[in-house]
Homo-oligomer: A and B are copies of this chain.
Amino acid sequence: MSNRKKTTIQDIANYANVSVGTIDRVIHNRGKVSPLKKKKIEEAIKLLDFNPNLLARTLALGKQFRVCSLFPEAKNSGNYWNLPKKGIEQVANTYRDFGIVLDSHEYSLFDESSFVAHAQVIADKNPDGVILAPLFEKESKVFVEILEEKNIPYIFIDAKIPDKKPLSYIGPDSKRSGFIAGKLLHSLLREKDDILIVNMAKGVKNSAHIGIVEEGFRDFFESQDDNVDWNINSLTIPSTEEVDVIKELTKYYIKNTVVKGVFVTNSRAHLISEFHKTHELDIKLVGFDLVEKNITEMKSGGIDFLISQSPVFQGTRAVQSLFDYFVYKKPPAEIQFVPLDIIIKENIDFYLNSQ
């Protein structure tokens, strides 16, 4: 069975006593085929299990698929955004000969206008697909509405925007990620220990997401029937600059000396870890993402758990989804939640190697 060579258009043509041109018309529904022969051809296709050779098809079509990506810029190598980008580039490269052309754009996380500018450039290029990390909610909304108008499919990565329906959302389940963080921190604490949730956010960005993460975190503690009223506070710092964080944190810790566990809702847990170390505080710490500084802090014991949101995988899935959509015409699942990996000191090296 698997011994036989694959059936080709010619095989079908022979079987149905027609020329390959007619087969082609049936396959592509171009009409202009008599019902009788059409039926026979369709029969033959089923019977002989014909599947067009993807290589030959792609070669013949010679079509290019331009994919534009728009991500926060990753200047130094330890930056989180290098990871999805790595995934994207890797898969795009794999499919180079299939006509996938990658066109990367980056915006500054500190400058909405750079986002808008790049969005404009991308829209003007009329690409075949867009991969977007929509961290600026308002601006992203405007952007994807332009894309919708132009009928350009787009994929959200890492975050999503309410009411918008991308071709696919690829990223974490925010609520559940908070829930898991709760579980992990819980495993490290004793009853009644005070808990602090730290949100660091610059401006409006990504606010919905953070709220949901916190919700999931609190959900976990409420779901525990341990009859303990956990004291969970949250601290929102409207900056990710070290000085600001230190300032706010100091202020809080001086007033609240019994904090035993901290949950950081973004990838800056390392800032907290450093603070704890400086002040010789023995406080359990859970955060997100395998960024360079978090890795260092985890290895030195300052961070107990990190939750990784499969950043590389997010990138590979995104391009893969577009590829399948372009080449196989197979639309991806609307929502593709990614694995949330629990990282501890002891397994961290695996994730570093496989990224």
On A, residues with C-beta under 8 Å from B are 2, 6, 51, 53-56, 58-59, 96-98, 101-103, 173, 176, 179-180, 183, 187-188, 220, 337-342, 344, 346-347, 350-351, 353-354
Contact = CB atoms under 8 A, between A and B. Distances in A.
B341 A339 contact: yes
A97 B57 CA distance: 11
A354 B187 CA distance: 26
Q: Which 10 A-B pairs have the closest CB atoms?
A: A55-B55, A342-B342, A54-B97, A183-B346, A55-B59, A339-B350, A55-B97, A180-B346, A53-B97, A2-B101
Contacts of A339: 341, 347, 350-351, 354
Nearest to A101: B2
A346 B176 contact: yes
A96 B2 CA distance: 11
A183 B344 contact: yes
A277 to B, nearest CB: 19
B351 A98 contact: no
Nearest to A308: B339
A10 to B, nearest CB: 14
Contact of A340 (B56, B180, B347): B347
